[in-house]
Amino acid sequence: MNALLAIMQRDLLMVMRRKSEVLTALFFFVIVSSLFPLGIGPEPALLRKIAPGVLWVGALLATMLGLQRMFAADYADGTLEQMAISPTPLVVLVLGKVAAHWLVSGLPLVLIAPVLGIQFDLDASALGVLVLALLLGTPLLSLIGAIGAALTLGVRGGGVLLSLLVLPLYVPALIFGAGAVESHVSGLGAGGHLSLLAALLTLALFFAPWAATAALRIALE
């Protein structure tokens, strides 16, 4: 636990020296989500219908902006090799880096989402479901993205390859996350979608750090 907290603190301190990385993902999410109401028009029924998909796609793409940098800096300066041979299991350090990535790239999106949801005429209960879905879904995106970032580490053109790898894996999170809000708005209830999203997060918490660790060891060989 001490190693986990230490790696999280280290990554967060490094990000604070490059605040533009946090602001870039946040501004991207705000701009993408705000362009749709401006382009489609002020029809409340249509805005409520497209809101879940638009907000989730914006959050998904914003999360992807920082994936390639999750391990790249440590790989370039040799820190990742020192982590691999340290007494602390590498999987613990990987989990700490994923948690730091979510705090930087995922949590701000969860906090700003209700404000953006007002643009789409979502009521308070729908905004609550949206926040809960993003709170379950954005850590899942970071965990899946860590596998892609590890697999493409040190590969030329890794950014494009990373997108091709993780986007298909993001589809279930997108479907269940957006579906939770859509079901709530239509009166069907969001419990089923949120339960499936929580199940996916539980599976990813168990398997993703190990898969990313194995990919990192291959990249370091």
Give CA–CA dist 207/42, Å, rounded. 44
Domain that holds residue 182: 2-220
User: What's the whole-number mean pLDDT along residues 100-119?
Assistant: 89
Under 8 Å between Cβ of 110 and 132: no
Q: Report the range out of 22-31, 63-72, 105-114 with the highest average pLDDT.
A: 105-114
Amino acid at 117: G
User: What's the whole-number mean pLDDT along residues 213-221?
Assistant: 84
CA distances from 193 to 139, 171, 182, 190 (A): 16, 14, 10, 6
Give CA–CA dist 170/114, Å, rounded. 22
The pLDDT, as a whole number, for residue 157 is: 66
Give CA–CA dist 10/23, Å, rounded. 19
Inter-axis angle of helices 124-151 and 69-77, nearest 10: 30
Residue 176 CB burial class (10 angstroms; 0-12, 13-18, ≥19) = buried
Domains contained in the chain, number: 1
User: What's the whole-number mean pLDDT along residues 23-46?
Assistant: 84
Give this prediction's pTM: 0.89
* pLDDT for residue 72 is more than 90: no
Give CA–CA dist 216/205, Å, rounded. 17
User: What's the whole-number mean pLDDT along residues 3-26?
Assistant: 79
- Range of weakest confidence among 11-20, 109-118, 180-189: 11-20
The pLDDT, as a whole number, for residue 143 is: 92
Please, what is the average pLDDT of the chain? 85
What is the torsion angle, in degrees rounded to the nearest 10, for the CA atoms of residue 48, residue 52, residue 57 and residue 58?
A: 70
The pLDDT, as a whole number, for residue 123 is: 87
The pLDDT, as a whole number, for residue 133 is: 93
* pLDDT for residue 199 is more than 90: yes
The pLDDT, as a whole number, for residue 173 is: 92
